[in-house]
Amino acid sequence: MQTTETTHNSGEVIKLESEHVLQTYRRAPVVFERGSGCRLFDASGRGYLDFISGIGVSSLGHAHPRLTAAIAAQAGQLLHTSNLYFHPLQGEVAAKLAELSGLPRVFFCNSGTEAVEASLKFARRYWFSKGTPRTAVVSLQRGFHGRTMGALSVTWDEHYRAPFSPLLDGVTFVSNTDPAELLAAVTDETAAIIAEPLQGEGGVHPLSLEMAAAIRTACARTGALLIADEVQCGLGRTGVPFYSSKLGLQPDMISTGKALGGGVPVGAALFSQRVADAASFGDHGSTYGGNLLACRAAQVFLDELTSGLMAHVAEIGTEIEAALRRVAARHSTIVDVRGAGVIWGLELDRPAAPVVDAALERGLLINRTADTVLRLLPPYIVDSADVNQMAVLLDAALAAVKGEGS
Ligand SMILES: Cc1ncc(COP(=O)(O)O)c(C=O)c1O
């Protein structure tokens, strides 16, 4: 669809990065230069079916005509003014997020981890304002909440946390599948429970209704606030606005990000009125947060989402599930299929990385979480033909790794 002015030499790109970019990412050796819909194209012009969408970010796919035009128009008008002044878009986007979530107030930031930081800060602020300070947080095993110090403190994987200790005090991790353990851990000193209603990085694990009931009971008993981290699973990804509502949860705070800007960095922390009432001028801030470019992108995404895209996600989700179950029936290495809408995990009985590599070789982009889980996070706009092609490529990749399946 598009043309590029420059085509880069992949070897030179990779070499230059290896010399000058902080080596925190183990990247696959592919250089992408352009995209269209659910496809990415590398420097040699080869196409790939994108079922990871920049880890759940490119919700409208690549080079979406409406998003592209809106971003270009906004760039030509005004990009940024800071939060010293008003601009017309923050209130509009906040109102739309409030309508979707039932939480009336929004703090805009630039990433998921910042949305989590804001939620953790305002959990403390709430209790401080009440005159009964609480700082303890209960978090779940397999939970992932980001890489800044607060979000990292409530992230379960020790491997991420250990090199950066000491982190925040007072964080207790409990099983994500044992309601009794959660009920025992939440006390009158707990400021908040933080949980992903559907855990993404931890291996695509939806919380059970029993866990949700325990969270509700614990909050009601102790007054602890509930932070639902929906950075990955929220904003229509499962076919409903927020997965917490599907579990019957009413969070005091919801953290969002990823899909919201469709590729433009934007995060948002959503607050109940009682938590928002504790906020004062100067309590929190962000230079970029909610600037015109970010809000314009979010506006387009939210408008698409509520004009049929969320219903599409729900429908295509059933097609994806059916396709994955057909693939699973052909490969005994797949021991579980989990997910909803456009977030799916295939649990393998072995490490998943070789399958990810084999899929890449065949032109399918997926990734691995929690060692043994293949994760699929396609753009929300994915269609039946894309799903069928994904199933063919995934089947071939699994067969190649196992030497079975045909
Ligand atoms: C549930 C959840 N919370 C927070 C984050 C952190 O988001 P970001 O990488 O945008 O800071 C992620 C990222 O994967 C996530 O999945």
Q: For residue 400, is pLDDT > 50?
A: yes
Ligand 1 pocket member 116 (CB < 6 A)? yes
Ligand 1 pocket member 395 (CB < 6 A)? no
Q: For residue 406, is pLDDT > 90?
A: no
Quote the ligand 1 centre to 388 CA distance (angstroms): 29
Ligand 1 pocket member 232 (CB < 6 A)? yes
Mean pLDDT over 369-374 rounds to 97
The DSSP H or E segment spanning 41 is strand 39-42
231 SS3 class = coil
> So what's the pLDDT on residue 11?
92
For ligand 1, atom 7, the nearest C-alpha belongs to 112
Ligand 1 pocket member 241 (CB < 6 A)? no
Ligand 1 pocket member 289 (CB < 6 A)? no
Ligand 1 atom closest to residue 200's alpha carbon, by position in its atom list? 16
Report the chain's mean pLDDT, rounded to a whole number. 96
* Percent of the chain at pLDDT exceeding 70: 98
Ligand 1 atom closest to residue 148's alpha carbon, by position in its atom list? 11
Packing angle of the helix pair 89-101, 292-304 (nearest 10 deg): 40
Quote the ligand 1 centre to 113 CA distance (angstroms): 6
* Bridge pairing between strands 47-50 and 39-42: antiparallel
For ligand 1, atom 13, the nearest C-alpha belongs to 146
> So what's the pLDDT on residue 297?
98
Ligand 1 atom closest to residue 199's alpha carbon, by position in its atom list? 1
Q: Which amino acid is at 319?
A: E
| Nearest 10 degrees: Cα torsion 395, 396, 398, 402 | 130
Q: For residue 261, is pLDDT > 50?
A: yes
Band (5; pLDDT cuts 50, 70, 90) = low
Mean pLDDT over 178-185 rounds to 98
Q: Do residues 161 and 155 lie in contact, with contact meaning Cβ atoms separated by under 8 Å?
A: yes
Mean pLDDT over 254-279 rounds to 98
Q: Which of 139, 145, 194, 253 to mutate to test the pocket of ligand 1 (most atoms within 8 A of CB)?
A: 145
81 CB contacts (<8 Å, ≥6 apart)?
A: 87, 291, 292
In angstroms and rounded to an integer, the radius of gyration of the C-alpha atoms of the chain is 21
Ligand 1 pocket member 70 (CB < 6 A)? no
Ligand 1 atom closest to residue 233's alpha carbon, by position in its atom list? 1
Band (404; pLDDT cuts 50, 70, 90) = very low
Q: Which of 156, 232, 266, 369 to mutate to test the pocket of ligand 1 (most atoms within 8 A of CB)?
A: 232
